Every structure is written in structure tokens, then in C-alpha cells.
Structure 1
Amino acid sequence: MVDVTLPKFPELTFEPKKHIYKLNGIYIPSVTTVMRPLSNEFYKDVDEDILNAAADRGRAVHNGIENYVKFEIEDIAPQHRGYFDGFLKWMADFKPIPIETECRVYHKYLRYAGTADMPCVIGKNLICVDFKTSAEINRMLTGVQLEAYSKAYESHGVKFDEKAIVHLKSDGTYSMERYKANDSESWEVFGALLTIWNHQQKYKRR
């Protein structure tokens, strides 16, 4: 068993309605915000109502997972039950040991933040797991997202052995995509996006 305690960050706050992170009271961008040029390109042809419905579903399923892991209760709306059943099947198949759920983290030096769904131990490996309920998974987007979370934790001394996306599906099944621990290409892409975001902010303040 890998003995892991994740650091707590009381200096990092989050306003869920506005999806805003603040570090010691000062706004810092989220991983989602930094990645917006990439995600907007991927989702540009998807109807806004469909995107909003998908976001609502994702929040509901994530809340259900958090309640199950923390309190061992199954609290999920009937229309989302299939996704939750996929999560339960994944739990039964892989027997992960959750360290935390919905873990807010920020990069100590680069000053961006995000929320990792469920860092956990599977076998002897510490894995950064993110759950998705979208119709499909874009491995480029998820690779960049997971690497950003991983590097944020690494700046505080926590190193993941690997990362994974668990794709939950409406029919009660799932698939699991695994990613290597250090993805230099994805990190380079995120770094470029962060440079662009910082450059834009500098000119907005002028």
C-alpha cells in the first residue's frame, strides 16, 4: 500500500458559480480557462444547449461520486444513474483506494489552479484520475489537462506514477484511458497556452 497524504491549500479558494480560483485573495486562472483556445476549437460546432446539458450532467455525476466516496451513499438522479453505475463497475474492477475527491490544487510557481477528481492508489501506483461523462474523449485535451494537474501537484512535492481518464457511459459501462507520468509534449502545449493567457492579461491591464 502506497502511503500518501495530499497537501491542503487553505490559501486557495474557489467560487463555483463563477468558476474562479483565488490564491491569497488574488485571482489566478484555472486549467480550464488556460485551455480554452484548445477546447473552443474542439467544441466549436457543438450546439450550446448540448454543451450546457453535458456540463450539468458532469456536475451531477461528479457530486454523486464525491458523496459515495466520502459518505458511502448513492445519491444520483435517475437520468444519470447509468453513468454512476459505470463508476461503481470501475470501482469493483480496479479497487482503487481514494486519497481525496475534488482536490483543489495550484502550481506553486506558475500560478494556475485546478480540481483533480480523485487521486487514488491502484495496486502500488499513485494515479491522478479524472472522470468524464461526455459523448467522446479527446485524448489531446485530456492529456494536457491531466499533465497540468500533475505538474501542479509536483510543484508541491507530490509525484503521480500515472494519470487516467475514466470515461463513464450512459449504459452503465466505462472505459479507462491511461497516460504516462511525464508527458513532455502535453506540458509544452499547456505552457504555451499559459504564456498566451499571461500575455493577454498584461495587455488587458494597460
Structure 2
Amino acid sequence: MFPSVTTVLAPFGGIEELKRRFPAVIERAAVRGTAVHGYCEDAAKGLFVMGVPAEYRGYFDSFMHWLADVEEVVATELRIMDTALGFHGQMDIICRMKGDSALSLWDYKTPDHVSPTWGPQIAAYTHLAHLDGYPVERAGMVRLRKTGRPPLVTEYTKSLRRHWNVYVSALNVYNAFIAPKGRKI
């Protein structure tokens, strides 16, 4: 089994140390992220979303602010594999933003702070999207806000090549030193 983009990048984002030091906080954050992603996916698919718990409502409202700028949703929660390089990833949304003729790829986040792994993550997703026939030209992270205010958007379009190189380096390090024993690299 090939590793996911996030598995490859995990050793470089500090999450393992945070899991050791604050396991309950990280578990709550993971539960929150999974729940919020589900509500956002349903809304992006045009489904009527009701019953969002109060603790997640702000994040969902923040997403709805951003979704209002989306002209067309092409795919959500799309999982793609690169068998040549040996990794897979699941991107949150491929869409066309209002005023754009080209496709965009965006990933939703709920943390307050930007992670240094987000650029390489979105670059890897963009690579996978191109591999699967989605001519994505813009890409970035949509940081949903607990308050329900419009999200903070970090676009990586201009730095995708640099971030892709970082991702490939991380993948090589993962395969050489971290990959499960017995897996051929």
C-alpha cells in the first residue's frame, strides 16, 4: 500500500510531537476536522445540511462564505493514486471559482495557524489532479474560522513548483527511512 500525502509529510509538521504532548487536544482536533469536512463536502455537493453541532457551526458558516465564490464544483473528496511515484492523496475540492475560466484545487483546514507542510501538500494534490486529467491552475488552503467569519485563504499557485520539489524530497526521505519494513522502494 502506498502512503498518503499527509502520511509522507507528517514527520515534518510536528504533529507527532504534539500527539505525544497533547493527545486529547490532537484527538479533538482530528474529530473536529473530520466532522467539518463532512458537512463541507455535503454543502459543496449541493445537499441541504442541517443539524451542524454548535461547536462546528462557525467553521461551517465560514465555509459557506467561501462556497459563495465557487461557480462550479467539479469533484469533492477525490482520491487519486500515483503508482509511478508511489503515493496517493484525497483532495477536498476541485472547482471553478467565479470569474475564473480554469479549475482550482482547495483543501479545507480548521487550525488557527498555517503549517509548513501545507504548501507541499497542495502541490502533491495538484500533481495528482493533473495526473487524473484535471487541469488545475490555482491551488491553496481555505482556513475555516471558528467564529463563522469568512475564511483565510492561502494560495500556493505561484510557489507550486518549489513546494512540489519539497514534497518529492519528503517522499524520498519517507521511502528511505520511514516506510514500513518490507515495502520496496
> Which one-letter code corresponds to 1:176 in the other structure?
V
For residues 123 and 110 of structure 2, what CA distance do their matches in structure 1 show?
Answer: 20
Given candidates 46, 52, 74, the residue that maps to 1:99 is 74
TM-score by length of 1: 0.78
Distance 1:205 1:74, change over 3 A: same
1:37 equivalenced with 2:11 (yes/no)? yes
Segments of structure 1 that go 5 or more residues without pairing to the other structure are: 1-26
User: Residues 205 and 78 (structure 1 numbering): CA distance in 2 closer, same or farther, change over 3 Å?
Assistant: same
Q: Is the contact made by 1:116 and 1:149 (CA closer than 8 Å) also made in structure 2?
A: yes
Give me the identity figure in percent. 28
Q: Is the 8 A contact 1:108 1:152 kept in 2?
A: no
Rounded Cα–Cα distance in structure 2 between residues aligned with 1:68 and 1:157: 24
Q: Which residue of 2 aligns with 1:142?
A: 118
Q: Gapped runs of 5+ residues in structure 2?
A: none
1:80 to 56, 69, 72: 56
Q: SS of the counterpart of 2:57? A: helix
113, 117, 131: which one pairs with 2:92? Answer: 117
Equivalent-residue separation in structure 1 for 2:178 and 2:26 (angstroms): 27
Q: Which amino acid is 1:179 matched to?
A: Y
Matches within 5 A, 1:22-33: 27-33=1-7
Alignment correspondent of 2:28 = 53
Q: In structure 1, how many angstroms separate the alpha carbons of the residues matched to 2:86 and 2:180?
A: 18
Between the two proteins, the alignment pairs up a number of residues equal to 177
RMSD across aligned positions (CA): 2.1
Residue identity matched to 1:148: A
Q: What displacement does 1:154 show?
A: 2.0
Distance in structure 1 (CA, Å) of the matches to 2:137 and 2:169: 24
Q: Structure 2-normalised TM-score? A: 0.86
Secondary structure at 1:205 match in 2: coil
